[in-house]
Amino acid sequence: MEKKNIDWSSIGFAYMPTDYRYVSNFKDGKWDEGTLSTDPNIVLNECAGVLQYSQSVFEGLKAYTTEDGHIVTFRPDLNAERMAASAARLEMPVFPKERFIDAVEQVVKANAAWVPPYGSGATLYLRPYMFGSNAVIGVKPADEYQFRILTTPVGPYFKGGAKPITIRVSDYDRAAPCGTGNIKAGLNYAMSLHAIVDAHKQGFDENMYLDPKTRTKVEETGGANFIFVTKDGKVVTPKSDSILPSITRRSLIYVAKEYLGLEAEEREVYFDEVKDFAECGLCGTAAVISPVGKINDHGKEICFPSGMEKMGPVIQKLYDTLTGIQMGRIEAPKGWIHVIE
């Protein structure tokens, strides 16, 4: 199969329509059989649940070309499970796990020419999503839904790739106590748009959100979880009921312990302790692990010893091991790599 003629190494994190997307509709209490479509547009009723009351959830995962030429995805079962939890929280029907994985396989196979080659630095990003599609005017869940997966080739989420970024402590909250911060709902991202536009205006790459109840503990950024390294080499990630349970973060904890022999713990992290960490990074499907060099707290700077030029040594090892597993250079734990073809 011939790949598309794209300068893969120069693409950023932006939408580029590919040939096929997967579509399935939920009506009269059941999902239809689903199909691949060449049409990137969606026609909706003006009163659709998603347009009026933001009833939408989504996921993000990537397809990789491995060193030996296979196309694989990373732990798609966990995306299916998380999407089911997100859907349940917003009173939406669950798209069954085996159908989710089948849809991932179909859409990646159909777009194989768009999966960036091994070593190009790019990957094919998959965006499964679901939304209320029929008309609702009273505040209630829709009766009809559409599940889709679009794909788009992507490069690094932050310009500059592995160069450390600067973030600021946000005065806005992205989640509420007992709210929806722990699910992947579009509404959480709408909440963060003003804060990110403002952060960019002020020259910062991202926002660090603190816990919405006490503003004393580290939560996450708009699109990634935090990972810290202590001065004695222990990996620490924040635990909170209002952050997204990142698949990358869960995988990194395992990698730290089982591949690198490091101590790793998930616990509440007070903002006051952050100045004492040696390394800081953002982790997620889009972010992979993006090193943080500096945090600005209302004018006061926390500069990590790892500096602004390169990743710290422990985060570098985590990055190399995780991407090595994803690209087939390092043997993966059982069930992590889903071979498509």
Contact 340, 105 (CB under 8 A): yes
Q: Is 224 in the site for ligand PLP (CB under 6 A)?
A: yes
Give the residue carrying structure tokens 């490091």: 262
Using CA atoms, how far apart are residues 165 and 104, in angstroms rounded to an integer?
32
Q: How far is the CB of 221 from ligand COI (least distance, A)?
A: 9
Beta bridge partners of 169: 208
**Which positions ≥6 away from 7 have C-beta within 8 Å?**
none
| Annotated active-site residue in 184, 213, 239, 275 | 184
Q: How far is the CB of 251 from ligand COI (least distance, A)?
A: 13
Q: Which of 34, 132, 155, 223 binds ligand PLP (CB under 6 A)?
A: 223
Using CA atoms, how far apart are residues 107 and 224, in angstroms rounded to an integer?
25
For residue 329, give the amino acid letter. R
Reduce the secondary structure of 235-290 to three states and give it as a string.
EEEECCCCCCCCHHHHHHHHHHHHHCCCCEEEECCEHHHHHHCCEEEEEECCCEEE
Q: Is 219 in the site for ligand PLP (CB under 6 A)?
A: no
Q: Is 60 in the site for ligand PLP (CB under 6 A)?
A: yes
- The contact set with ligand COI (CB under 6 A) reads 60, 223, 284-286
Using CA atoms, how far apart are residues 34 and 15, in angstroms rounded to an integer?
23
- The interface partner of residue 220, options being ligand PLP, ligand COI, none and the CB cut-off 5 to 8 Å by kind, is ligand PLP
Q: How far is the CB of 248 from ligand PLP (least distance, A)?
A: 3
Catalytic site includes residue 334:
no
- The interface partner of residue 132, options being ligand COI, ligand PLP, none and the CB cut-off 5 to 8 Å by kind, is none
Nearest residue to ligand PLP by CB is 284
Q: Is 284 in the site for ligand PLP (CB under 6 A)?
A: yes
Binding mask 242-281 for ligand PLP (x = CB under 6 A): --x-xxxx--------------------------------
> What is the total count of residues that contact ligand PLP (CB under 6 A)?
12
Q: How far is CA 285 from the centre of its chain?
A: 4
Q: How far is the CB of 60 from ligand COI (least distance, A)?
A: 2
Phi and psi, residue 313, nearest 5°: -65, -35
Q: Which is nearer to ligand PLP, 48 or 247 (CB)?
A: 247
Q: How are beta strands 264-267 and 279-284 bridged, if at all? A: unpaired
DSSP structural state of residue 9: G
Q: Which is nearer to ligand PLP, 120 or 192 (CB)?
A: 192
Q: How far is the CB of 328 from ligand PLP (least distance, A)?
A: 19
Phi-psi region of 221 (alpha: psi -120 to 50; beta: other; left: phi over 0): beta
Q: Is 225 in the site for ligand PLP (CB under 6 A)?
A: yes
Give the residue carrying structure tokens 């659709």: 48
Burial of 330 (0-12, 13-18, 19+ CB in 10 A): middle
Using CA atoms, how far apart are residues 97 and 103, in angstroms rounded to an integer?
10
Contact 340, 108 (CB under 8 A): yes
Q: Which is nearer to ligand COI, 111 or 136 (CB)?
A: 111
Q: How far is the CB of 47 from ligand COI (least distance, A)?
A: 28
Q: Which is nearer to ligand COI, 60 or 245 (CB)?
A: 60
Q: Which is nearer to ligand PLP, 224 or 311 (CB)?
A: 224
Stretch that binds ligand PLP, among 40-48, 221-229, 292-300, 317-325 (CB under 6 A): 221-229
Residues with a known catalytic role:
184
- Give the binding site for ligand PLP (CB under 6 A): 60, 220, 223-225, 244, 246-249, 284-285
